[in-house]
Amino acid sequence: MNQFIEKGHIKVAPEVYHALMNGKPVVALESTIISHGMPYPQNYETAKEVESIVRENGAVPATIAILDGTPFIGLSDDQLRRLAILGRKVQKTARRDIPHIVSAGGNGATTVSATMVFAHKVGIPVFVTGGIGGVHRHGEQTMDISSDLTELGKTPVTVISAGVKSILDIPRTLEYLETQGVTVAVYGSNEFPSFFTESSGCQVPCRLDSPEECAKLIDANSNLSLGTGILIAVPIPKEYAASGNMIERAIQQALAEAKEKNVTGNEATPFLLARVNELTGGASLVANIALVKNNACMGARISVALAKLRRGTVRSAL
């Protein structure tokens, strides 16, 4: 049984703790994708595969969740399975929800914003997810804007994702990130991806073409103490990119149904993603899993490059 190490009010898995203490690469992973992303046992199997990919590429995975009121950084196999079995019974947890879940002794699956909070508290600089939240379509009227964006504006953690969930308004999301002072980069392209497809039509000023370039960007942001996060968007692999037109039609239908059923707030994204998956005959879920695994591979490589860069800097200083 894992003997977790207490750090304040947080418990850290021994492997994660010792890696951080020794400057070794660690990659944070969210848990909402496990509880709300897909059914059991597929969610458990995918979570294990993602952790394995991180390890195979030289880093230590740290899946983050709140269990029985305690935030955990790095889950044991039993905890991971428990979270997967509980599924949607676990509360989807953003930054605002953390105090309530902890004080009530509840179970919380962390979204991007909550995962960033906990990753930063223990010193994990790189976090991998599928796609971040953003400005919802018609957000200029509803003011429905994900806390992921404001978190990126105030928490210095680098998020590796396939861009913004395609059910959202990508141009307005990028505008909002600019307002928050967040550096947005794309790996291997000048065009921001559209989650299920490689392009959105939105250009970004920062292109990165290697894990080492990503590491230098992260290190510069840290050395300058800018206090903001970084978003590195990694386009979905070509062989898994679903048909953009098919996905877009499904999204429009799902959005109409959500409006008709008055599905809003935290429930909107899970409803829309599930409905889009149904309407595309499962194609969107297959693509989603593929891009998460691709992001995990890239995130681990970036984390390894960052650890190597920082070790070199320490040696030079000495």
Contact 136, 268 (CB under 8 A): yes
Please report the pLDDT score of residue 2 as a whole number: 65
Q: Which entry of 11, 51, 92, 165 is annotated as an active-site residue?
A: 165
pTM of the model: 0.93
Digitized pLDDT (tens) for each residue of the chain, 318 residues in all: 468 999 889 999 999 999 999 999 999 999 999 999 888 999 999 999 999 999 999 999 999 999 999 999 999 999 999 999 999 999 999 999 999 999 999 999 999 999 999 999 999 999 999 999 999 877 777 788 899 999 999 999 999 999 997 778 999 999 999 999 999 999 999 999 988 888 888 999 999 999 999 999 999 999 999 999 999 999 999 888 877 678 878 988 998 999 899 987 777 777 888 898 899 888 888 888 999 999 999 999 999 999 999 998 654 332
What's the rounded Cα separation, in Å, for the pair 12 and 14? 6
Please report the pLDDT score of residue 315 as a whole number: 42
For the chain, the residue count is: 318
Active-site annotation holds for 48: no
What's the rounded Cα separation, in Å, for the pair 240 and 197? 9
Please report the pLDDT score of residue 317 as a whole number: 36
Backbone region of residue 126 per phi and psi (left: phi > 0; alpha: psi in -120 to 50; beta: other values): beta
Closest by CA to 214, choosing from 238, 236, 190, 234, is: 234
First to last CA, the chain: 39
What's the rounded Cα separation, in Å, for the pair 150 and 159? 13
Please report the pLDDT score of residue 139 as a whole number: 73
Please report the pLDDT score of residue 129 as a whole number: 97
What's the rounded Cα separation, in Å, for the pair 300 and 57? 6
Active-site annotation holds for 30: yes
Closest by CA to 203, choosing from 169, 175, 225, 227, is: 175
Neighbours of 307 (CB within 10 A): 21
Q: Which entry of 11, 30, 198, 293 is annotated as an active-site residue?
A: 30
